[in-house]
Amino acid sequence: MRLAVLNAADDLLVEQGFTATTIEGIAARAGVAKQTIYRWWKSKVDILLDALIDDAREGLAWADPAGTPTDDLTSHLRRVAAFFQEPAGQVLQALLGHAQLDKDTAVALRERFLREQRARDVAGLSAILERHTDRPPRPETVDGLVDLLLGPVSHRILVQGAPVDEDLLRATARAVLQPAT
């Protein structure tokens, strides 16, 4: 039942957008009663956040460092860019947009998703940098480098609405590695 509701929410958001996605529509698509949904979730934002959290664990996971640092970072950025094109990435985009207008959504998104994803990003980048430099990087350095790593891809997709090309991914990876060494 839970998975049916999460999938229904993803599908409806992609098909008709955030505003048109309703609890009633999600219930109908999932084949459950509206009351059943309200036992588990307070709002469509809560449903979409749960769907995003589940999907991002796999979709935004960091692979174990295996190649050159540039290749490892480029590969991860490729995964991030691809995630934004998937239904889960469209959920993230919708929640980010709604968070600009709704304080409760902003808080929930930060506390339930962004904080945990940030920790995964810091850990993933730290592993690559440690493998590259043979020493653990300073946490404050990695924190700033995560911004440098993800900023260009996020800006290109979220602000410009433009595709991400391989040149941007490689240049970003190199830019992150330069101060780390």
Q: 45-180 sits in which CATH class?
A: mainly alpha
**Nearest CA-CA partner of 137 in 177, 95, 92, 96:** 177
This model's pTM is above 0.85: yes
What pLDDT is recorded for position 139?
A: 86
CA distances from 127 to 63, 69, 93, 134, 151 (A): 10, 10, 28, 10, 20
Q: Is the dihedral of CA 24, 25, 28, 30 positive or negative?
A: negative
Distance CA 10, CA 93 (A): 12
| pLDDT by 10-residue block (mean), the chain, 181 residues | 95 95 97 96 97 96 92 97 95 96 98 97 95 87 95 96 96 91 66
Residue 169: strand, helix, or coil: helix
What pLDDT is recorded for position 179?
A: 81
